[in-house]
Structure 1
């Protein structure tokens, strides 16, 4: 594999990379490889969204919970203003 050396990196960026590495339990080189691959997907415009297994499970659970909400007139009106039929 080709070695990549980065010079003059802003400390804020270094800290962000390290936070991602720590959160995922990855080494910094593995983290950089993953971030480069995912960033290239964004710029190449393949448009696909990728979730890891834990993210997929959380999303599926949230969608299942939303599907279980009863469809009633009261709940559907949350956040909506009543219609003023008297006109301006």
Structure 2
């Protein structure tokens, strides 16, 4: 496992981590690792949602553009002959 050093951690945050460790009967190291894992997962989920929204917007734009294509019997035959 990789060792990390956290510098300039806000005292209130360190206290909250210490309190979590005490309440769970775990070391601060274990709690920090769990908190980082949960935080990274939450960030990844948020990123996926943002990408999904971008893709959804692109799809809506493409559909809107296709709806502007005029009906034409000859156009529908492209690639079928």
Segments of 4+ moved more than 6 angstroms: none
In our comparison, the structure showing a higher alpha carbon Rg is 2
Superposition deviation, residue 22 in structure 1: 0.8
Residues 52-67 of structure 1: pairs in structure 2 closer than 5 A: none
Supply the distance in 1 between the matched residues of 2:10 and 2:4 (Cα, whole angstroms): 17
- 1:27 matched residue in structure 2: 27
Deviation at 1:37, TM superposition (A): 0.4
TM-score of the pair, normalised by structure 1: 0.50
| Alignment partners' CA distance in 2, 1:18 and 1:28 | 6
Structure with larger RCO (C-alpha < 8 A, sep 6+): 2
RMSD of aligned C-alpha atoms?
1.2
TM-score computed with the length of structure 2 as normaliser: 0.54
- The gaps in structure 2 that reach 5 residues or longer are 47-81
Gap regions ≥5 residues in structure 1: 47-88
Match of 1:38 in 2: 38
